[in-house]
Amino acid sequence: MLEDKVLIWKFKRGSSDALCKIYQKYKRYLLTLVASLVNDFNTAEDVVHDFFVSFAQSSEKLKLQGSLKSYLAVCVVNKARDRIRNNSRRPENLEQAELLCTNEISPEFSAICNEEFQLLYSALKQIPYEQKEAIMLHIKGGIKFDDIAKMQNVSIKTVQSRYRYGLDKLKIILNGKVQK
């Protein structure tokens, strides 16, 4: 948290090095979050890069309250929503989900990770987008329900219901496909 505050302080004073460090620190997290929402790794890369271009141009206007990680998550999710709205269709494949696994792991673990990604994303495509977004923002994004409610412009109870119903549907869909 202190490191983030220092990075923001430097970034607001024009440090391109601070911007690069912010990007490197949060790139994988943001890509994973957006890819889970748009079901397409290439689109996720575009969204994250588009966000960082606009973020880089707004250093003087930046008024960050709270954590940098949450701020970045909210911003890229909003960009992802815009992209979905503008395309009026949701991409259907996540062929490159394995890219989200780290390169330092064994080939066996990588194969298992890729298979689990494919099962999860296949199941996520089968639940309503609002439920998927609530689940991914809370679990992958680490965003609290009240912040998600503000972001989605709904009540906290609605977000909690979307989250709970989405998890219940995922359990039903994945039942029997995942070894216990």
Q: What is the pLDDT of residues 129-145, one digit of tens each?
A: 889 889 988 887 788 89
Which is higher by pLDDT, 12 or 86?
12
Report pLDDT for 112. Answer: 56
Structure token pair of residue 73: 């998550």
Report pLDDT for 24. Answer: 92
Report pLDDT for 178. Answer: 52
pTM for this prediction: 0.65
- CA–CA distance, 111 with 98 (Å, rounded to integer): 8
Mean pLDDT of 149-172: 91
b vs e for 39-74, b when ≥16 Cβ sit within 10 Å of the residue's Cβ? bbbebbbbbbeebbeebeeebeeeeeeeebbbbbbb
What's the pLDDT band for 176 if we cut at 50, 70, 90?
low
pLDDT tens for each residue of 70-86: 888 888 988 888 887 77
Report pLDDT for 83. Answer: 83
Which is higher by pLDDT, 98 or 107?
107
- 27-to-2, 19, 23, 33, 40 alpha-carbon distances in Å: 19, 11, 5, 10, 16
* Identity at 73, one-letter amino acid code: A
